[in-house]
Structure 1
Amino acid sequence: MADRTSSSITIGADRKAIMSVIADFPSYPEWAAQVKTADVLETGEDGRATRVRFVLDAGVIRDEYVLGYEWDGDAEVRWRIVRPGRMISGLTGAYRLTEVTGGTEVAYELAVDLAVPMPGLIKRRAEKVIVDTALKELKRRVEAR
């Protein structure tokens, strides 16, 4: 995984409120449009998920895979693929939360590898859409609480 796509958004809430939404995987289908199910398979000592099985339906990409998570309190969460799907062969990413005036800046980075060849420009454009959509959906979910 060479290139990563990243973006950020400011959300009108503190890090704890935002991270609680990020950590609530079973609720993802309610607000993350492309996630059909997110089942927690393992949790760590802090009660947060360390392995989650996702079923994704993103139009041309329909897949099931497992991600492993590492948490740094309410400041950061990183993930990587631990069981690839049929189409998604690699996936790493992170949310980094920094408190700013008026809320929290949420930086999101993502790198996706597909089992099918895809030109780099198209892949990066697709990653950009995924990242921007995820940030907007997260903001809407957190600020509606």
Structure 2
Amino acid sequence: MADRTSSSITVKAPRPEIMAVIADLEGYPRWASGIREFTVQETGPDGRAARARLTFDGGPFSDTVGLAYTWEGDDRVTWDLVEKGNVVTGLHGSYALADAGGATEVTYELTVDVRVPMIGMVRRKGEKRIIDSALKGLKRHLER
């Protein structure tokens, strides 16, 4: 996989509240633009998703992929592609949460590989758009 793209935002909510929203994968279509459907296929011992299928509309691309999740309490979650889609051939992402003086800094990292040849700069710009949209949606959802 190529270099990751990342961005951060400060949310006026505690880490457990933010991670509860992040862990509610099936709720993503309500606040994350471009996410059409999330279906949890398997949960881990903590009740959080271990595997899920994601269907998204990402501008010129729409796809359905399978993801595997690793949760580190309310501090971090990572996910990796385990079922390729028609377009997406590689995917790794994470949310990391850190206390920020009465608020929480949320950092989202993402790397996506697609079947279509794409210049690295264009791919990173697309990743940045996905990340920024997700972070803004998460902040709006939690601070409303």
The normalised TM-score by structure 1 is 0.97
How far does the alpha carbon of each residue in 1:30-69 deviate from its partner, in whole angstroms, 9 at most, with x for none? 1111011000000000000011101111221110001100
Structure 2 counterpart of 1:32: 32
**Displacement of 1:102 after TM fit?**
2.8
Aligned residues: 144
**Displacement of 1:89 after TM fit?**
0.5
SS in 1 for 2:86: coil
1:111-126 alignment to 2 at 5 Å?
A: 111-126=111-126
Structure 2 counterpart of 1:142: 142
Identity of aligned residues (%): 51
Q: Which consecutive aligned stretches of 4+ in structure 1 deviate over 4 angstroms post-superposition?
A: none
The one-letter code sitting in structure 2 at the alignment partner of 1:73 is G
How far does the alpha carbon of each residue in 1:119-143 deviate from its partner, in whole angstroms, 9 at most, with x for none? 1111111111111111101111111
* Structure 2: runs of 5+ lacking an equivalent: none
- Indicate whether 1:98 and 2:85 are aligned: no
SS in 1 for 2:8: strand
Structure 2 counterpart of 1:71: 71
The normalised TM-score by structure 2 is 0.98
| Cα RMSD for the two superposed structures | 0.7
User: Does the 8 Å CA contact 2:28/2:38 hold for their aligned counterparts?
Assistant: yes
Question: Equivalents in 1 of 2:88, 2:76: separation in Å?
Answer: 24
Question: Equivalents in 1 of 2:115, 2:7: separation in Å?
Answer: 25
Structure 2 counterpart of 1:133: 133
SS in 2 for 1:21: helix
**Displacement of 1:26 after TM fit?**
1.0
* Structure 1: runs of 5+ lacking an equivalent: none
SS in 2 for 1:136: helix
